[in-house]
Amino acid sequence: MEHLYEILKHVDGFIYPNEIELQWGILIILYPYITGLVAGAFILASLERVFKIKVLRPTYHLALLTALAFLIVAGLPLVSHLGHPFRSYEILTTPQLGSAMAIFGFVYLWYLMVVLLLEIWFDYRYDLVIWSNESKGIKRRIYKILTLGVTDISPKALAWDKKLGYIITVIGIPSAFLLHGYVGFIFGSIKANPWWSTVLMPVIFLLSAMVSGIALVMFLYMVVSWIRKVKIDMACLDEIGKFLFMVLILDFTLESLDQVHRIYEAEESFEILHMLVTGKLTYTLFIFQGLMGTIIPLLTLGFFRMYLPKEKLRKPIYFLVSCLVLFGVFFMRWNVVIGGQLFSKSFLGFTSFKLGMVGLEGFWMALVWMIMPFLILSFILWLLPPWKKHSEETV
């Protein structure tokens, strides 16, 4: 409790006495951040499949597997931040349906089991059967289990794989929207908090999720290509850049609209939010999220729409842009989660927040959560390498 006494000294103005401690810290920032990456990556994958954007083909499987790796981790920071993690099953057994958070368990399971796993399974089933015959030892076992015993690879069965996979993708798009729109709703539905309570919140979350997910796939595609020492498909990268640009514009417009609306309506909470934005959130909002995460990528990608520089130049720029966007969206989540708790609901003062280094809610732990999906992804890529798929030509 030492840190609370420390914070007590840094309280500005008046806050309700229970508001000194921020209830939601870095872990709750990671939760919407990671789910956002999932939703975004998945939507990028579906673009290829459902909207038949063929140039995106090289990233299709990567995007899917990325979504899976991040989804596996997505719920963990949330659960580990609970006061009683072992009671978390209650969300599934007795969900209180009036609560946005209660649906989380089901949305999560739906998305994991029905959408992602099934889509990947349909997509890889043919290869799993082949690989289970080709490889030896433990790997062979794993592949065998993963086929779930469905080893029929007649053209008829393969046609079904394709068909069912397609249906799942079509279901998957609204599911991805649901998954993240709903995360926005968790915040947007809190009428007590004027910084959160806006109908646009789910939409903003969704768009920023798409932005971050697309940037993540862009980033990973380049990294994976470098590691594998294969040539990056520039047409594909440009296409991703194009989509990133489009969604960024939408995201930027809506977020600005939200702020303009706030400023123009200037409700009861306006003064305190103004102080928040120009005070405690200056760096994270204007510099990190606004300038670095949005404006610079927007201008760069916009410039690329008019003039495409040489490949040698474009690659590092794309790389940089994807990093900036990922960084910016992280701080978007930061500004929502932390910003919403810094000011008092009495609108008369601020508490303060300092990210600790150690402990369950500390920086290092957050870093672990952030690295974990990448490790899982490397494992999945090792197990199910998209570049070794046999079915490539048949699909």
Partner 1 sequence: MGTKRMNASRRNFLKKSAALAGTILATSALAPFNAIIFAAGEPEDKTKIWYGIGIDIEKCIGCGMCAKACKSENNVPKEPFYYRSWVEQYTIKNDGSINVVSPNGGIDGFTQTVPEEELFKTFFVPKMCNHCAKSPCTQVCPVGATFESPEGITLVDKEYCIGCAYCIQACPYGCRYLHPVTKTADKCTLCYHRITKGLKPACVEVCPTGARIYGDLNDKEGELHKFLKEHNCQVLKPNLNTGSKLFYNGLSAEVR
Partner 2 sequence: MPVQLKTLIPLFAVFIILFLIARHFLIPDSFGKYGHYRANSIDEIAALPINYAGKAVCIDCHDTEAELLASDAHAGLSCEVCHGPNAKHADDYEIKEYLIKQGTREFCGRCHSLNPARKIEVINQIDIKEHHPEKENCIDCHNPHAVWELKE
* 3-class secondary structure, 350: strand
For partner 1, the binding residue among 31, 42, 60, 104 (CB under 8 A) is 104
Residues numbered 23-42 forming contacts with partner 1, rule: CB under 8 A: 23-24
Q: Which stretch binds partner 2 (CB under 8 A): 21-29, 152-160, 242-250, 352-360?
A: 152-160
**Paired tokens of 77:** 């920071």
Q: 329 near 33, Cβ under 8 Å?
A: yes
Q: Which stretch binds partner 1 (CB under 8 A): 183-191, 224-232, 286-294, 326-334?
A: 183-191
Cβ–Cβ contacts within 10 Å for residue 351, how many? 22
Nearer to partner 1, 256 or 346 (CB): 346
263-265-270 Cα angle (round to 5): 55
- CB of residue 90 to partner 2, shortest distance in Å: 8
Q: 204 near 212, Cβ under 8 Å?
A: no
Q: Which stretch binds partner 2 (CB under 8 A): 37-45, 158-166, 233-241, 259-267?
A: 158-166
| Binding of residue 83 to partner 2 (CB under 8 A) | no
> Closest Cα to residue 24, out of 215, 187, 134?
187
Residues numbered 242-281 forming contacts with partner 1, rule: CB under 8 A: 268
User: What are the phi and psi torsion angles at 135 (to 5°)?
Assistant: -90, 175
Nearer to partner 1, 16 or 303 (CB): 16
Distance CA 135, CA 149 (A): 17
Who's near 264: CB < 8 A, 6+ residues apart?
Answer: none
For partner 2, the binding residue among 157, 292, 317, 370 (CB under 8 A) is 157
Distance CA 77, CA 31 (A): 6
Binding site for partner 1 (CB under 8 A): 1, 4, 8, 13-21, 23-24, 81-85, 87-88, 90-91, 94-96, 98-102, 104, 186, 189-193, 268, 340-341, 344-348
Applying CB under 8 A, the residues found at the interface with partner 2 are 89-90, 92-94, 96, 113, 118, 122, 125, 148-150, 152, 157, 160-161, 164
